[in-house]
Chain A
Amino acid sequence: MESIKSSDVFKKFSGIATSLKNSEIENWKKQGGKVIGYFCPVIPEEVFIAGGILPFRMRGTGSTTTDSADVYLKPVNCGFPRHTFNQALIGEYDFLDGLVVNTCCDTIMRLAVDWEHAGIKTPFIYSLDNAHAGGEAMVGHFRNQLQKMKDAVEKYFNVEITEQKLQDAIKLCNETKLLQQKLYELRKLPNPPITGSETVAVMVAGSSMPKEQYNKDLKTLLDELGNVNTDKKYSARLMIIGCGHDDTLLCDIIEELGAVVVTDQTCFGSRVMIKTISEEGDDPLMSIAGYLVLDVPYCPKTIGTHPERKQFTMGLAKDYKVDGAVGQCFISCDPWAAELYLLKSEFQEAGIPFIWFEREYIPDLIGQLKTRVEAFIETINN
């Protein structure tokens, strides 16, 4: 096999990642299943799965305008919530039975009210208060917040989320994480059998379809990756760092220029699977809270946590033997911009070329982006 692109499973993942609605969701809904959209990886999908509900990670895929959302949000608000909200306003999220937002940033934390006010027909809307600083002290409080969310889900959807069901959901999601870790391991190879762009598709699909089927498909894909001809030479091994990253745009640009993206520090990528949730203990909500507060690499919106992020990021750069790193954040994402500014010095000291820029979530023009990336790759190759 020349490339994984010809694989049916990959085509399926790619199709799911490049649209909002997909056949897996349609089938789920046909069988009477419910779907909850959630905005951020700090909202645990395990709780929804334990309630028999399909979690769907929110994104603005397919959006071409923010005309409708601009009634509620201003250009100073990040393009990610603006495009995503716009998709909801024009009916692209009609398949949702519920929505959970969290207090992850100034814009998203306001979306629950905007959503309701705009009359979008999502019957269940919930705001989860996540921890905004890192450390052991936050775990217990966040566990209580998760308990409230669980209670609300149980009440609205008339389901019972037992500890056993939570344990089962944790196991299922851990399996996903372990399979995704295997996928990332392959990217450590000198000639990775899967590109960064392809990986984005696989990862995004993971939060857009039922986990059981995803795990089954991902196992198949991993088997197929063993048959991919890995002789292809790349001009540079790069990593991507930053927010969002639910589309292949940046990877496409990099990889069309002859380099390859071998890893990332993004919240659709490595941050969601680098560790697993403890399956020990008799309080699964506490295990989930511990994982989300202490184990998942912190979002830059979490104060006082740059040292941990730095360690995680530089560790990835080393493990994946990157030749350079590309930082990207959406315009108006102040915490990520500050983080990338701080990381610049770390990469300089490590002797790893680094570039960072702000970009629109869905850019109208990519020429400037392409020029900057091209110049960066040339610098590395020189």
Chain B
Amino acid sequence: MNTEIKVEEVDIYKELKTEFGGLGANSFQGKMQDYVKSGTPIVACTDDFFPELFEAMDLPFYFVVRQGLESAFHAGRGPEAVDGYDEFNGASTLCSLQKASAYLLVKDLLPKPAAIVMTSTSCDAQTAVNELMSNYRPWAEVPRISVDASFEKDEASMEYLGKQWIQTIPFLEKATGKKFDLGKFKEVCEESNKQTQLLFDFQELRRAVPSPIRAEWGFIAYMGCRWSACGRQEGTEWMQRLYDATAQRVKEKKGIDGVTEKIRYTWFDILPCWSDKLFPRLEQEFGAVNLMDLYGYCAPWPSIDTSSLESIFTSMAKRFLIGNPMTRQIFALSSVYGGDAVNIAKNFKCDAVIMPGHIGHKDGAASHKIVKDMFRELGIPFFVIGCDVFDERYMDPEVVYQKISAFFETSGLT
């Protein structure tokens, strides 16, 4: 049965997607092959902690996990990478995205870096891939630095992380030959501040009823501002256009084209790589609109305080630990994890909350009861699935669709 429904974007969003593609092509990531060919030093990182520093140093970098997403799953090679990983007998329950990243590493498909920067946080699977990467034998001589992020979120913990991150400057200068310029760094951080403010303002627009755009735009906006064009004026301008286009739709009370919004829900995890097999069907069958996902949700990010080098890094630490999607929720108490779900549900007027229960998210699995009870108290229908948001073979999207359909029906939402 062909369950895919083609989604047509209105013209302005088509343009914004094309421009987003341009941002990607012009990013460090987009030019990676050129850097490899020219022998330009590249840095491998394990998380998206401070792209501002790389931008300021004009230092090409990549996030290992993003390679799994883009070079494997988005390129239609996810299952091949996951199966390839399983063949070399790693951790069987590793998140499939991390499996794909590890596969690319072991198969020598990642650019060899001149330096490796690792920060703790994120999940056990990320830690496992950190260790695989930093001990990958062909990279044995690559200099590396490990930074400890505190689980606590008090001022001392932010300073602790910030001070360690400052040490990455001389480390990167030595390992790559690139020079650090504080003035340039401040400029990039200030541009980044504009972007994150726009990200937050854009998010606020999405509270509107009916929802002006699909949830995927939250993730696209995040990628544009953090992954492709962090601290670049072109990224800010693109984000401004996205904001303006969406503000116009809100003003005109326009909902998603072709959808009569009846159910508003949040998908409280990463959007699945097989979104096209699920969300459009739910829109058409139930008028069910997904408003938000974890990467599209930005709690107010603290601004980077550019008054001094120390203040920049301390505020970046703050931004990372209490603002960065997933880091904020995973490396925190269940109350933060569940609290964000509740905030989304309340602020975005959700009729239901769906927790996909991605099999790689062991932290979320250990919090589901807490979150479930939070929603029981609020009287908002809540549902945990238990699928794999990357590898659709774990649970067929058709099964996910049927489960959600049954959930909507039994919750009296249809």
Q: Give me the interface of A with B, judged by CB distance under 8 Å.
A: 71-74, 76-78, 81, 103, 105-107, 109-111, 113-114, 117, 127, 129, 131-135, 137-138, 141, 144-145, 300-307, 329, 331-335, 337-339, 341-342, 345, 358
- A335 partner residues in chain B, CB cutoff 8 A: 124, 127-128, 131
Bound-state Cα–Cα, A88 to B194, Å: 50
Q: A-facing mask of B105-144, CB < 8 A → 1, else 0?
A: 0000000000000111101110111111011010000001
Selected interface stretch from B65-73, B88-96, B375-383: B88-96
Bound-state Cα–Cα, A127 to B305, Å: 30
**Smallest beta-carbon distance A376→chain B, Å:** 15
- B134 to A306, Cβ gap below 8 A? yes
- A334 to B147, Cβ gap below 8 A? no
Bound-state Cα–Cα, A332 to B94, Å: 7
Bound-state Cα–Cα, A301 to B145, Å: 16
* Known contacts A76-B362, A133-B147, A341-B132: A117-B370 contact under CB 8 Å: yes
**Smallest beta-carbon distance B313→chain A, Å:** 14
Any chain A CB within 8 A of the CB of B34? no
- A307 to B135, Cβ gap below 8 A? yes
- A334 to B120, Cβ gap below 8 A? no
**Smallest beta-carbon distance A60→chain B, Å:** 15
- B156 to A144, Cβ gap below 8 A? yes
- B135 to A342, Cβ gap below 8 A? yes
Q: Could you list 15 examples of A-B contacts with CB < 8 Å?
A: A76-B361, A81-B366, A105-B362, A110-B367, A114-B366, A114-B367, A117-B373, A133-B148, A137-B163, A137-B164, A303-B131, A303-B146, A304-B118, A331-B92, A341-B89
Determine chain B's interface SS by DSSP, over half rule: mixed
Determine chain A's interface SS by DSSP, over half rule: mixed
- Find the A residue at minimum CB distance from B121: A132
- A304 to B123, Cβ gap below 8 A? no
- B91 to A333, Cβ gap below 8 A? yes
Q: Could you count the A-B residue pairs with CB atoms below 8 Å apart for me: how many are there? A: 163
- A300 to B127, Cβ gap below 8 A? yes
- Find the A residue at minimum CB distance from B91: A337
How many positions in chain B have a CB within 8 Å of any CB in the partner chain?
A: 58
Among B98, B151, B357, which residue has the most Cβ atoms of chain A within 10 A? B151
**Smallest beta-carbon distance A102→chain B, Å:** 9
- B129 partner residues in chain A, CB cutoff 8 A: 338
- A129 to B128, Cβ gap below 8 A? no
Selected interface stretch from B216-224, B327-335, B343-351: B327-335
- B362 to A107, Cβ gap below 8 A? yes
- A107 to B366, Cβ gap below 8 A? yes
Bound-state Cα–Cα, A365 to B134, Å: 36
- A72 partner residues in chain B, CB cutoff 8 A: 366, 368-369
- Find the B residue at minimum CB distance from A144: B156
Any chain A CB within 8 A of the CB of B363? yes
- B164 partner residues in chain A, CB cutoff 8 A: 137
- B124 to A105, Cβ gap below 8 A? yes
**Smallest beta-carbon distance A110→chain B, Å:** 4
- B369 partner residues in chain A, CB cutoff 8 A: 71-72, 114, 117
A106 CB contact (under 8 Å) in B88, B123, B167: B123
Bound-state Cα–Cα, A358 to B88, Å: 14
Q: Which 4 A-B pairs have the closest CB atoms?
A: A304-B146, A337-B91, A132-B120, A338-B128
**Smallest beta-carbon distance B279→chain A, Å:** 24
**Smallest beta-carbon distance A284→chain B, Å:** 21
- A303 to B127, Cβ gap below 8 A? yes
Bound-state Cα–Cα, A174 to B4, Å: 65
Extra 12 A-B pairs, beta carbons < 8 Å, given A334-B124, A358-B93: A72-B369, A105-B362, A129-B150, A135-B146, A141-B157, A305-B146, A333-B91, A334-B125, A337-B128, A338-B132, A342-B132, A345-B137
Among B357, B366, B368, which residue has the most Cβ atoms of chain A within 10 A? B366
- B357 to A74, Cβ gap below 8 A? yes
**Smallest beta-carbon distance B96→chain A, Å:** 12
B93 CB contact (under 8 Å) in A76, A133, A134: A76
**Smallest beta-carbon distance A277→chain B, Å:** 21
- A106 partner residues in chain B, CB cutoff 8 A: 123-124, 330, 362-363, 366
Bound-state Cα–Cα, A110 to B120, Å: 17
Any chain A CB within 8 A of the CB of B365? yes
**Smallest beta-carbon distance B284→chain A, Å:** 31
Any chain A CB within 8 A of the CB of B149? yes
Bound-state Cα–Cα, A144 to B120, Å: 19
- B131 to A300, Cβ gap below 8 A? yes
**Smallest beta-carbon distance A350→chain B, Å:** 15
- A77 to B365, Cβ gap below 8 A? yes
- B137 partner residues in chain A, CB cutoff 8 A: 345
- Find the A residue at minimum CB distance from B368: A74
- B167 partner residues in chain A, CB cutoff 8 A: 137
Any chain A CB within 8 A of the CB of B152? yes
- Find the A residue at minimum CB distance from B373: A117
- A331 to B127, Cβ gap below 8 A? no
- A110 to B128, Cβ gap below 8 A? no
Any chain A CB within 8 A of the CB of B404? no
- B131 to A111, Cβ gap below 8 A? no
Among B147, B150, B160, which residue has the most Cβ atoms of chain A within 10 A? B150
- A76 partner residues in chain B, CB cutoff 8 A: 93, 359-362, 365
- B152 partner residues in chain A, CB cutoff 8 A: 129, 145
Bound-state Cα–Cα, A110 to B363, Å: 7
- Find the A residue at minimum CB distance from B123: A106
Bound-state Cα–Cα, A107 to B144, Å: 28
- Find the A residue at minimum CB distance from B360: A76
